[in-house]
Structure 1
Amino acid sequence: LEEEAKPWLEANGKPEIQKSKPKLYEVGSSRISVVYKSTTQEEPPSLPQIFAAVSAGSFHIVVGFSLAFSATLIPQLEAPDNDVNIESIEMPWLASVLVLFVPVGAMMAGFIMEYLGRLNTIKIASIPCLLGFLQEYQQVWEQVQPLYTSQKVAKPELRGALIATSPTLASLEIHSRGAYLHWRTAAWTSIIYVVLPLLLISIWIPESPVWLVARGRVDEAEKSLKWLCGQRVSLRGGERGENTIPEQQLAALVKSQDMKALVVTGFWGRMSGFARPTGFKPLLVLFGLFFFQQFSGIYATLFYSVELFKDVGSDLDPSMATILVGLMRLIMSFFNTALLRRFGRRPLCMLSGCGMALCMIVSGFGTMHIYGGGEGLGWLPVVCVLLYVCSSMIGLLSIPWTMTAELFPTEIRGLAHGITISLAHILMFLSIQSYRGLRDMLGGPHAIQWFYAAMALGGVIFVAVFLPETHGKKLIEIEQYFRTNITYIGQKKPPVERTENGAPPTG
């Protein structure tokens, strides 16, 4: 972009930025330099960005309900007074069938959001959900919100926390219903959680400015940036202090290679991006991360929470224990949002995996003690499972989902996000479907808890070796990492940029 803007800069002179030293904040693209401008030392207000992210992510309340629904549905269907005849062999399919259809919605979202925009994709997905058709459509929301947030949030240190509003809002639903409502009533009442967020994004929230600029809708992009920032905005490389985006800067932006890729490149052009290191490396890293996430039992224990507490031999009412699981997820999700702003992804994931492994190891011994006829430790597995849930919320549950919107370059991000989420849900389907089979094959509830502990420790090792740190990093820095590195350990440092006389830049 700097090369494209050089002729204009030579004709008009370089902008004087040393006097006020305005702070520039990145918006969603690695090389498309759309920035918020602050003419003082104060940072742009975060409130509009937070409101936009929460509004778009509020659809995840319904997603959270869907994820927790099987934990309520299966015990009620297995009750003697149930009016629906379901064979026991069909129960794992009830728990996992929703996840099986998610890749369909994820892949559709990857294409639709590129052509119709992030918010329009959410609106379209709301229609079949309200009608009760095509259950996989509601998973489109799960794919769109992180992309929408990543292309709107200016400050890199705020990006991860806002993307993480998705699991936070999903946790609101998980603990609130199910134990005391009939499964049909719980399903009907979920409609309200579609209508309210739809009204929010339809009335107040603007479309992603990066997507609007890519489609040539400059006036709308300018309004979107102003709304998000609360101040005047500009494109990098042009004068500051203007209320509108200069035409010269916009011309340079449209000429840039990234913008051509967004506007011109078709399906196969985007697919070719996966042949480059910046495409296939993050895909492999995320696949490995999701593999250890899923087979460490995070979602299997959620879908089978009632059955799990029965398996561990606890005296606590399983329905009450399930509510406690949801409550722990809710509380920890807010802590997680704060942690993502202050700490890196790598230490949080490693701390999370170690905590999960320790809890499952101790819980397994407690369960074995109970099944062996021991007394006095009925509380131990319950406490360990709840602490396991808390540990998962610190990192391994939420961070992999947020990183899908951080690791890929702009030109393939929408498609890559859809592919990654599809693979993640295929792994989720396998982990949920295999819960009962693994439990019986390995030798009982204590054995599967130890299996989950081993997978959590495997995730810690994988993160230490392969996962790059993205906290506080610009998207172009993340892209540069994948160009030159395979493992995080022993990574190559990017070359230091120098001025024409060979000295490092001073500003």
Structure 2
Amino acid sequence: MLGDDESWKAMVCFCETVMSQKEADERLWLTFGASLAFLIIGLVRGYSASSIPSIESLDPDIIQHSEQKSWIGAIPPLGAFLGSMCSGPLMQRAGRKRTLQLTAPLWCASWLILGFAPNFSLILLGRILSGVCVGFALAPVQVYVSECCDPEIRGRLGSLPTLSMSLGILISYVAGNWLSWRYLAFLSALFCVALFFVLLPLPESPVWLKSRGLDDTYAIKWLHLSQHAVATVKEDNEENNGKSEEPKSLFTREVFFSSAVIKPLIVGFALLFFQQFSGIDSVIFFTVEIFQEAGSSLNAMAATIIVGAVQLFSNGVSTVLVDRSGRRPLLLLSAVTMCASMLSMGCAFFFKFEHNSYLGYLPIASLVVFMLGFSLGFGGLPFLLLGELFPTHYRSQLSAMASAVNLLSMFTVIKSYHALERVLTSAGTFWMYSAFCAVAFFFVLFMVPETKGKSLAEIEQQFRGKKNKNDINLQSVQTKF
């Protein structure tokens, strides 16, 4: 009998392991499917670095002066700003998954316009349209993934979209070394087709379904979510009336300035602002110039591939660590590393070290350290926090607004780099970025809460700063893990 008991326990243990693996596989499938959108965002970001030299070489009549090159690189964030303002209402009405599916054909069309463009005007049209699609996808992906994961693994799975974006940048750099700018656009269009079909079998977010009064049973069952993951915070009107009512508009004084909205909004806006004003897109866009200043023997394409590979590696490390160390430690370490590397880069330009000296390679070393530090924390965690910090009823609108701030900041940083360089010099510009990173460190230290292992409802309750009598007892709900 003892042997039989042991056999039975072994069988039960095996079945639980198989079921856990099956559940994990399904959540991974959803995350990878949604992350395809971030991979395409990476293709959009990396396209100009690879395509501009190709256009100048194969179709020199298209680009007449350097200002046109600047606009090819900088206009997608403007389009993305417009798209992000529309994505909030769209994903609130249509859902997270359907918003991404609707974006895929439009994204494909933007790449086809680029691939067949006979002149600069159509290239610009394709780039701004691809940027609009970036805005459509940026917030829904992170919200979708965060709402479809248990708290214990939300950090790891929620970091995969940013890892995919780094992979997209690297794919664009590597493929651009072999393909002409037209064929690079056609290759990117194939990923948009894949995005549409990969999303077809996936369920909608159970949080969104519940907020719209729809049945979320199938989605919860498909995702194998625990009650801990799908618990929600009751509103005051639900407590008083005993029933759910339509939530008030976000843009009323009572709602917008409530602690549940304004506190996470300030945190989200600030993190995405600091992400861009660390100087990241100036570094990515002007990598070639920095390598030239360092007197490196590497050619421009090798330099961009190194940057892309370092960013991908660092995001991979962040993905592994985010649910072990938490969000705050990684953000703090990221801010310190970026601050020090921007400071050293400014020193390199200020003192103008000789190229034949070891110190002549200080800009390259600073750039690599900066990319490591950025990707470890500020590269992906602000996007992860978009899906964690905002209250359920207003998550769509607030995430879209935060994405708009991020994209407008990105455009400002890219377009202002050379102007700042003329006014502050290169050294002064990098020291300014270093100062922003220092401010970011103290902001995280005093303002950003730790969300590791907490359900979305627990995070929302923390910002409310009080316990409601009829709230679900979040601490007593057991997880699946």
Please confirm whether the aligned pair reaches a TM-score higher than 0.5, indicating the same fold: yes
CA deviation string 1:231-282 (max 9, x = no partner): 9999879xxxxxxxxxxxxxx99x9579999973475678853221111121
1:15-69 Cα deviation digits (max 9, x unpaired)? xxxxxxxxxxxxxxxxxxxxxxx9xx98994322122111111121111011122
Instruction: Report what 2:315 is aligned to.
Output: 333
Tell me the residue number matched to 1:98: 76
Q: How far apart, CA to CA, are the structure 2 residues paired with 1:126 and 1:258?
A: 43
1:477 equivalenced with 2:458 (yes/no): yes
User: Cα–Cα, structure 1 residues 90 and 232, in superposed 2: closer, same or farther, change >3 Å?
Assistant: closer
Residue matched to 1:403: 385
Contact 1:351 1:395 in 2 (8 A): yes
| Partner AA of 1:144 in structure 2 | P
**Match of 1:192, as an amino acid?**
L
What letter is aligned with 2:184?
A
- Quick check: 358-367 or 281-290, which moved more? 358-367
Q: Which moved more, 1:425-434 or 1:70-79?
A: 70-79
Aligned twin of 2:114: none
| Rounded Cα–Cα distance in structure 1 between residues aligned with 2:145 and 2:423 | 43
| Counterpart residue type for residue 141 of structure 1 | A
CA displacement at 1:430 relative to structure 2: 0.6
Match in the other structure for 1:412? 394
The Cα shift of 1:477 comes to 3.1
Contact kept? 2:75, 2:411, Cα under 8 Å:
yes
8 A Cα contact 1:70 1:304, kept in partner: no
Aligned to 1:20: none
Task: Name the residue aligned to 1:201.
Answer: 199
| Cα distance in structure 1, aligned partners of 2:399 and 2:20 | 34
Matches of 1:388 and 1:326, distance apart in 2: 12
- Judged with a 3 Å threshold, the aligned counterparts in structure 2 of structure 1 residues 363 and 120 are, in CA distance, closer, same or farther, namely same
User: Does the 8 Å CA contact 2:250/2:394 hold for their aligned counterparts?
Assistant: no
Q: CA deviation at 1:479?
A: 2.4
Question: Are residue 210 (structure 1) and residue 210 (structure 2) matched?
Answer: no
Shift in Å at residue 144 of structure 1? Answer: 0.8
Residues 1:42 and 1:53: Cα distance change in structure 2 (over 3 Å): closer
SS at match of 1:191: helix
Among 441, 463, 474, the alignment partner of 2:423 is: 441
Q: Is the 8 A contact 1:63 1:139 kept in 2?
A: no
The one-letter code of the counterpart of 2:156 is A
Secondary structure class of the residue paired with 1:404: helix
Do the aligned residues in 1 keep the contact of 2:229 with 2:455 (CA within 8 Å)?
A: no
Deviation at 1:402, TM superposition (A): 1.1
List structure 1 runs of 4+ shifted beyond 6 angstroms. Answer: 41-44, 230-237, 257-263, 494-498, 504-507
Aligned-pair RMSD on alpha carbons? Answer: 3.5
- Deviations, residues 330-363 of structure 1 (Å, cap 9, x unaligned): 1222211111111121111110111112222233
What is residue 24 of structure 1 aligned with on the other side? none
The amino acid across from 1:119 in the alignment is K
1:63 and 1:170 in contact (8 A); partners too: yes
Question: What's 1:58 paired with?
Answer: 36
| Correspondent of 1:178 among 176, 180, 192 | 176
Residues 1:142 and 2:120 aligned together:
no
How far 1:139 moved relative to its partner? Answer: 3.0
For 2:435, the equivalent position in structure 1 comes to 454
Evaluate the alpha carbon distance shift between residue 58 and residue 260 of structure 1 in structure 2; reply closer, same or farther with a 3 A threshold.
farther
| One-letter amino acid matched to 2:435 | A
Cα shift at 1:394: 0.8
The 8 Å contact of residues 335 and 378 in structure 2, kept in 1 or not, is answered as yes
Preserved contact between residue 277 and residue 483 of structure 1 (Cα < 8 Å): yes
User: Partner amino acid for 2:433?
Assistant: Y
Q: Give, in whole Å, the separation in 1 of the partners of 2:476 and 2:63.
A: 72
CA distance 1:442–1:364, change in 2 (3 Å)? same
The normalised TM-score by structure 1 is: 0.77
Distance 1:323 1:232, change over 3 A: same
Q: 8 Å contact 1:163–1:402 — kept in the other structure?
A: yes
Give the direction of change, closer, same or farther, for the CA distance of 1:455–1:76 in structure 2 (3 Å limit).
Answer: farther
1:85 aligns with 2:63: yes
Does the C-alpha gap of structure 1 residues 146 and 259 become closer, same or farther in structure 2, counting only changes over 3 Å? farther
Matched residue of 1:205: which SS? Answer: coil
The alignment partner of 2:389 has SS state of coil
2:281 maps to 1:283 = no
**Residue 466 (1) aligns with residue 436 (2):** no
C-alpha distance after superposition, 1:213-248 (max 9, x if no partner): 333432xx21221111189999879xxxxxxxxxxx
Instruction: Please tell me whether the aligned partners of residues 158 and 341 of structure 1 are also in contact (alpha carbons under 8 angstroms).
Output: yes
More helix by share: 2
Distance 1:158 1:388 in 2: 27
Deviation at 1:291, TM superposition (A): 2.1
User: Take 2:159 and 2:31, find their aligned partners in 1: how far apart are those partners?
Assistant: 9
Amino acid in the other structure paired with 1:201: L
Match for residue 49 of structure 2? Answer: 71
Unaligned runs of 5+ in 2: 1-15, 111-125
Find out whether 1:158 has 2:153 as its counterpart. yes
Give unmatched runs, 5+ long, in structure 1: 1-37, 238-251, 485-493, 499-503
Would the alpha carbon gap of residues 366 and 314 (structure 1) be closer, same or farther in structure 2, given more than 3 Å must change? farther
Give the secondary structure class of the aligned counterpart of 1:406: helix
8 Å CA contact 1:48–1:230 kept in 2: the answer is: no
SS at match of 1:85: coil
Query: Which amino acid is the alignment partner of residue 341 of structure 1?
Result: D
Q: Which residue of 1 aligns with 2:118?
A: none
Deviations 1:277-301 (A, max 9, x none): 1111211222222222211111221
Conserved? CA contact 1:332–1:394, under 8 Å = yes
Tell me how far apart the structure 2 counterparts of residues 235 and 482 of structure 1 sit (CA, whole Å).
18
Kept in 2: contact 1:99–1:429 (CA 8 A): yes
In the alignment, structure 1 residue 125 sits paired with structure 2 residue 103: yes
* Map of 1:187 onto structure 2: 185
- 8 Å Cα contact 1:349-1:399 kept in structure 2: yes
- Residue pair 2:295, 2:361 contacting (<8 A) in 1 also: no
Output aligned runs, 1:303-318, within 5 Å: 303-318=285-300
Confirm or deny: 8 A CA contact 1:117 1:207 kept in the other structure.
yes
Identity %: 29
